Structure 1
């Protein structure tokens, strides 16, 4: 049966699938899963529990003993929510030097598998100036593999999810499909407030104060943080987030086992009740209690929920990709992403046939219309040196000249430091 046969649903291989937020969204959009791979056994167990007929593999997605990409040569979509800590503003932003970084590897995987489309999502930190060259390198590689890639910062609240949750999303399609792709537009209906979304769940235990609480919880939630195995149990995020939760009448210092019961009153200094895992799932975009069941102990369930890509956002992006794959809707004139530079210093050095001094770099940038001070250039070079090998030579005049060398990120190399670091830290990678 041909994949192009009318009525046949397109297929997806999903890497770093988690507990199924992106999975559910893509399924709703119209994709069938050929395979889902997830490192965390608890999250994989939830995925398998809800979709027992799926092929769910547990283990390192970059391990050929777990799965072989060559077994899926004709898949329509390669998708995944690769680990966030390498780019998180809350972390060290190690990028290519972080053993958890699989973004560049996923791009190489796309080149190997040659799906019609690629979808990768990550944290907002990847959109920062720190990773401008990293993003440009990704677009360059995709272009070499025959894809047009685009980045977009999407807010979950724009898709009726009752929390802010900005996610930085990469979509890449083959040229024949890319001209039909448009990013999904925000919903015409505002996202519900925390109170509107959770009133029924907060009242489920018989708490008489649920109605008044819901009226006071009159805004969307801050970004829910799933946390990692490296840090304690389940709570609702860092200090700033907890303050915002308190303003909404929520105690962010943990997650409750059940909703408040009759006569419940908050403990001293507590701003209100704690949320249950089911409530947090509702705020992540799982609409109904019976829609998706999370397995495991409370902390494991909370991490599964908190680290998920909200299903409504994944569905919206999935539908936009599917429309492009079907070549539906208006065609657009393609903006060649590789011609718009995320980092002009990276682009200049990559295109130069020889190393350039700081003064030469600044002069060439100015000629091309980009003004940059010496301190700004030094900062750019510092960022570049974290993700790329810099070729630095000393001229006879004593000036240093710079060129771009190899990309430090893991892209499948057998001798990469990622293997040893991953094995060393595997028990606390999530």
Structure 2
């Protein structure tokens, strides 16, 4: 199945969609460092990226007409800074708002489906109307704003059209959900908004998959069965005491073992325990990107991620890479920075995927990425629904004397 991706970054979303079986006709990314990362992995022979066609350019300058044939999936994560809690909160007033360009891509490429990822800040109350606008413009991409028409006035027209029930030549069924990556087997508490649309004429009824992992199951495996500690060889004497706030939750579990219906959240220890301590330079040096970074310090608001919980959200940062979210808090109460390899694992990048830039630049790319596993889960579901579609007649064919348009 053919796909196009905009705002590719270092390739997290693209890796997930490729793993799900989509073949990228084009990946567009303006940042030279992110493009360098992808090209470096191509040169290293990483098979999944070998034939990726990377266009290092602004999405505004990309010619969509250069792509021939029907596109099955259009994917991308428009820059999050206009909506990020740590950003300027400019939304449509921020020149980095690239949603209008994504709308244009949908109009021109007419993909069977699209997939968008963005920060949870997009759902903040002061952005709620603009978020409605995004969803309605995606649902009716050909209803473009008039010259000098504000997005607010355009929103009013879109709402009227949407409520009229008039069928568009090109329309999409759009759904969105705020997902926590930890609920899908990623060792990171990372909440992001995902928007998925299927072209109206395909008559696809699609919904997000339900979580496969839960915090309750992790609590049960730690504090009731002890399986978590036994798996990692942590003796009874070295196990921490159950936090007081969890005792009441355990009492609610009772003895019905409901929590075993899902898998436990994955923790940092689950994800990196087989890597040698980066301080041991002689051993760690044999592992790409597993380099110790000195200087980590703990203070309020800068405490790092607990080894036995999913990590805090890895972030790129508006004013540089934030240390607190990129730091590990050890049981000894010592802290250290995650290595690039550890951070890549927390974002579920494969171990053969390398980041050739400096620690700060690599962590920025990783923090901006979509977890590969979560991208795969969503893209695989999209592909499954597309594969189940009945064969389509080519545009211009007739059925019962009625000509079918595209």
Q: TM-score, normalised by structure 2?
A: 0.64
8 A contact 1:180–1:323 mirrored in 2: no
The answer for the alignment partner of 1:313 in structure 2 is: 374
Query: How many corresponding residue pairs?
Result: 283
The answer for the alignment partner of 1:332 in structure 2 is: none
The answer for the alignment partner of 1:274 in structure 2 is: 337
- Candidates 346, 371, 381, aligned match of 1:283: 346
The answer for the alignment partner of 1:80 in structure 2 is: 76
For residues 72 and 156 of structure 1, the distance between their equivalents in structure 2, rounded to whole angstroms, comes to 34
Q: Deviations over 1:231-282 (max 9, x none)?
A: 24x4435xxx58xx56x339xxxxxxxxxxxxxxx9xxx8323211111111
Change over 3 Å in CA distance of 1:72–1:132 after alignment to 2: farther
For residues 276 and 180 of structure 2, the distance between their equivalents in structure 1, rounded to whole angstroms, comes to 25
Change over 3 Å in CA distance of 1:235–1:125 after alignment to 2: closer
How far off is 1:134 after superposition? 1.5
For residues 270 and 276 of structure 2, the distance between their equivalents in structure 1, rounded to whole angstroms, comes to 10
The answer for the alignment partner of 1:164 in structure 2 is: 189
The answer for the alignment partner of 1:62 in structure 2 is: 60
Q: Deviations over 1:276-330 (max 9, x none)?
A: 11111111112x422x11122222211111110000110011011112212379x
8 A contact 2:4–2:24 mirrored in 1: yes
Change over 3 Å in CA distance of 1:68–1:157 after alignment to 2: same
SS at match of 1:91: coil
8 A contact 1:177–1:324 mirrored in 2: no
How far off is 1:156 after superposition? 0.7
8 A contact 2:29–2:57 mirrored in 1: yes
Question: Which structure 2 residues correspond to residues 300-379 of structure 1 after superposition, within 5 A?
Answer: 300-327=361-388
For residues 137 and 235 of structure 1, the distance between their equivalents in structure 2, rounded to whole angstroms, comes to 32
1:19 paired with 2:10, answer yes
- Candidates 93, 97, 108, aligned match of 1:97: 93
Tell me, which stretches of 5 or more residues in structure 2 are unaligned? 42-48, 141-169, 213-261, 285-305, 391-406
8 A contact 2:29–2:59 mirrored in 1: yes
8 A contact 1:72–1:113 mirrored in 2: no
Change over 3 Å in CA distance of 1:75–1:328 after alignment to 2: closer
1:116 paired with 2:112, answer yes
How far off is 1:160 after superposition? 0.8
For residues 43 and 57 of structure 1, the distance between their equivalents in structure 2, rounded to whole angstroms, comes to 11
8 A contact 1:48–1:54 mirrored in 2: no
1:44 paired with 2:35, answer yes
Q: TM-score, normalised by structure 1?
A: 0.61
How far off is 1:99 after superposition? 0.9
SS at match of 1:24: helix
The answer for the alignment partner of 1:343 in structure 2 is: none
How far off is 1:206 after superposition? 4.2
- Candidates 203, 208, 217, aligned match of 2:277: 203
SS at match of 2:187: coil
The answer for the alignment partner of 1:249 in structure 2 is: 330
The answer for the alignment partner of 1:194 in structure 2 is: 268
Question: Which structure 2 residues correspond to residues 382-397 of structure 1 after superposition, within 5 A?
Answer: none
Q: Deviations over 1:59-117 (max 9, x none)?
A: 111114xx434534511111001100001122221100111111132023202210101
For residues 88 and 161 of structure 1, the distance between their equivalents in structure 2, rounded to whole angstroms, comes to 21
Tell me, which stretches of 5 or more residues in structure 1 are unaligned? 1-9, 211-215, 251-265, 330-430
For residues 369 and 309 of structure 2, the distance between their equivalents in structure 1, rounded to whole angstroms, comes to 21
Q: Deviations over 1:15-65 (max 9, x none)?
A: 00011100110011110110101111111111223324221010111114x
The answer for the alignment partner of 1:398 in structure 2 is: none
For residues 295 and 39 of structure 1, the distance between their equivalents in structure 2, rounded to whole angstroms, comes to 17
The answer for the alignment partner of 1:354 in structure 2 is: none
SS at match of 1:312: helix
The CA RMSD measured in Å over matched residues stands at 2.6
Change over 3 Å in CA distance of 1:279–1:178 after alignment to 2: farther
8 A contact 2:86–2:317 mirrored in 1: no
How far off is 1:142 after superposition? 2.6
